[in-house]
Amino acid sequence: MLKKDWNGLQHAAEVGFGRKTVRWSADEGAAGAAVHELPTRDQIDPKYKWKLEDIYPSMEAWQQEAEEAQQLCRELAGYQGRLGESAETLLAALRLQDAVEERVARLVGYARMHRDEDNTNATYQALTDRSISIAVQVASAKAFVVPELLQIPQDTLWGYVEANAELKVYEFVLRDLFRQQEHVLSAEEEQLLAAAGEVLEAPGQIFTMFNDADMRFPTVRNDEGVEVELTHGRYIELMESRDRAVRKAAFDAMYTTYEKHRNTLAATYGASVKKDVFYASVRDYPSARAAALDDDNIPMAVYDNLLAAVHDSLPALDKYLKLRRQVLGVDELHMYDIYTPLVPELHVKIPYEEAVQTVIEAVAPLGEEYQRIAREGLASGWVDVYETKGKTSGAYSWGVYPVHPYILLNYQDSLDNVFTLAHELGHAMHTYFSTRTQPFVYAGYTLFVAEVASTCNEALLTDYLLRHTDDPQMRAYVLNHHLETIRGTLYRQTMFAEFEKLTHEHAERGEALTPDWLSETYFKLNETYYGGACVIDPLIAMEWARIPHFYRAFYVYKYATGISAATALSQKILRGGPQDVANYLGFLSGGGSNYSIELLRGAGVDMASPEPVKDTLRQFSDMVDELADILGKR
């Protein structure tokens, strides 16, 4: 718990479920491959691949650090029973713990990102498994640290901190530890819990392999009438087709495939929920949700206020969906009608190099240094650009201290993918600034703020595009994209958050998470959120089965709070002065050196208040009206 997440610099992959999905060109796949077949990795130009050799130049170097990490792990175990001896002993133990965790983060990052290049590669499957095993060993070896620290009389501990200036760096994390003291187990119990970690994390690993490596979808006809294999990366592109038959075919193919595996997926997800409930129970939290929020010291009211604010603003979502129905000219709006662009004439292709230049220009309000670092990073091996066979779908950013951040994309030549690049660059720059500024113990920022920098970049890109066009159709397109971002990030992720709340409460009452209950519950939520203006197709009840973030419970609500904070911060950056920009860059540099709520307050946003969420929802409603005016539908 001192370093709550040895993989703390990772940002979970955002895989094709509406937050930020990859796109597929109707004419070509990545790097010129034929539409009916994805390229293999060796067919991609090296300049479009990330440079994992910046972490380790060879597998031998990985093996050497793995052995070193295990040796340091054994040395750390030698401090058990000695942490209270002196300030010097305590400092040495904490530094050794950092050294072990830093190495484990590199080991896991290297192995996992290599595996994500091609999930069918047995070598990197094995390397990932070994890295996770090492991480579990480390977690077990250091499990004594927190209970033993809590046994040191506080007068003695703070006396050590005052007497040894080098211990000062750990003051915040130590005070946070005592805040959670009542939820820490004995050293023996913590070691047992840590040793069980690999088994308890199995549901998420199983889902990833099933979803990304083993799942096969049927072929469907695209806009040109060509039979193409449905993939995670192609799904949204097909759903955006102007041909309603193509959209419906993709929708049906996706969810009938998941429906065939409903029992397996329900058992897998149910096991993940039980894991969350188990952890909360043994740590004496009233619920899994309370345990998850307490880790970041987030009041439960933040979650509840989010659900209430979004429910109150569902009429604005109805207004947007009714506008969509009018523009598409359909009698009934179905779930497969909500992704297709409202301005089809602007189906422009944007090559990756042009996307990079556009994003760099859009972030100019953040200053020349920010632009320079971003430009150099994107050109020097930060990014893995194109979709290839076996590659993990979606997009993410991953930080590996003290190496530069990495970005996984599945880039297709579309405006939406330009926004994906801006989004992931925001994550990467947050990681870059926090890594450059903070020691390892604070370099990883919390999940509560993880989406702020990314969605702030998207807001800056939206503003840039709107300021650089006089074309009403382009303006309508960008407005619609931003509305879709808010719908997908604030409304949709809040619906996901409500689903997680319901599933965990159901399990905590001792009820079974059967396929029928999961599907019925998910269907009813869609009725609540979309039923005012949309036909809720029965197959949407299976969507819960393809949401990867559900295996990292109570994460998705942070997308919704994140976009609300980002909206407020982007307005300060664009409308304020140099101090507002400095405050924002200070937030990026803060890492995990303070509570998330306080770091955001320092940047000028109070997320303990519901106002940022309400302001973003009001902006959504106003933008629906503006789009309706441009399209002549008011």
Q: H or E element: which one contains 140?
A: helix 122-141
Identify the band that residue 348 occupies on the pLDDT scale cut at 50, 70 and 90. confident
pLDDT in tens, 589-632: 999 999 999 999 999 999 988 999 999 999 999 999 999 999 99
The mean pLDDT value of the chain amounts to 91
> Is residue 372 over pLDDT 70?
yes
> Is residue 184 over pLDDT 60?
yes
> Is residue 5 over pLDDT 50?
no
pLDDT in tens, 47-94: 999 999 999 999 999 999 999 999 999 999 999 999 999 999 999 999
Average pLDDT over residues 411-422: 92
Average pLDDT over residues 329-347: 86
Identify the band that residue 346 occupies on the pLDDT scale cut at 50, 70 and 90. low
**Percent of the chain scored above 90 by pLDDT?**
81
How are the residues of the chain apportioned to helix, strand and coil, as percentages rounded to the nearest 5?
65, 5, 30
What is the C-alpha to C-alpha distance for residues 269 and 264, in angstroms, rounded to an integer? Answer: 9
Written as six digits, the tokens of 202 are: 């199995």
pLDDT at position 31: 32
- CATH numbers and ranges of domains, the chain: 51-184 (1.20.140.70), 212-345+474-551 (1.10.1370.20)
Q: What is the pTM of this model?
A: 0.81
pLDDT in tens, 448-489: 999 899 999 999 999 999 999 888 888 998 998 899 999 999
Cα-to-chain-centroid distance, residue 496: 14
SS3 track for 611-623: HHHHHHHHHHHHH
pLDDT in tens, 220-235: 999 889 999 999 888 9
Which amino acid belongs to residue 101?
A: E
CA contacts within 13 A on the Cβ side of 397 = 27
What is the C-alpha to C-alpha distance for residues 222 and 245, in angstroms, rounded to an integer? Answer: 9
What is the C-alpha to C-alpha distance for residues 406 and 424, in angstroms, rounded to an integer? Answer: 9
Non-local CB neighbours of 477 within 8 Å, separated by 6+ positions: 341, 342, 343, 346, 415
> Cα separations (Å) of 442 from 5, 361, 446?
11, 30, 10
pLDDT at position 608: 87
What is the C-alpha to C-alpha distance for residues 128 and 556, in angstroms, rounded to an integer? Answer: 25
Which neighbouring-strand residues pair with 227? Answer: 221
Q: Please give the positions annotated as active site.
A: 424
pLDDT at position 534: 96
Written as six digits, the tokens of 101 are: 């965790």
What is the C-alpha to C-alpha distance for residues 603 and 308, in angstroms, rounded to an integer? Answer: 25
Neighbours of 368 (CB within 10 A): 8
DSSP 35: T
Identify the band that residue 155 occupies on the pLDDT scale cut at 50, 70 and 90. very high
DSSP string, 214-240: I----EEE-TTS-EEE--HHHHHHHHT
Q: In this structure, are residues 354 and 449 in contact, taking their beta carbons and an 8 Å threshold?
A: no
pLDDT at position 507: 98
Average pLDDT over residues 565-581: 94
Pairing state of beta strands 227-229 and 383-384? unpaired
Identify the band that residue 212 occupies on the pLDDT scale cut at 50, 70 and 90. confident
What is the C-alpha to C-alpha distance for residues 220 and 299, in angstroms, rounded to an integer? Answer: 46
pLDDT in tens, 99-125: 999 999 999 999 999 999 999 999 999
pLDDT in tens, 241-290: 999 999 999 999 999 999 999 999 999 999 999 999 999 999 999 999 99
Give the torsion sign (CA, 508, 510, 513, 516).
Answer: negative
pLDDT at position 345: 57
> Is residue 34 over pLDDT 80?
no
Q: H or E element: which one contains 539?
A: none
pLDDT at position 25: 24
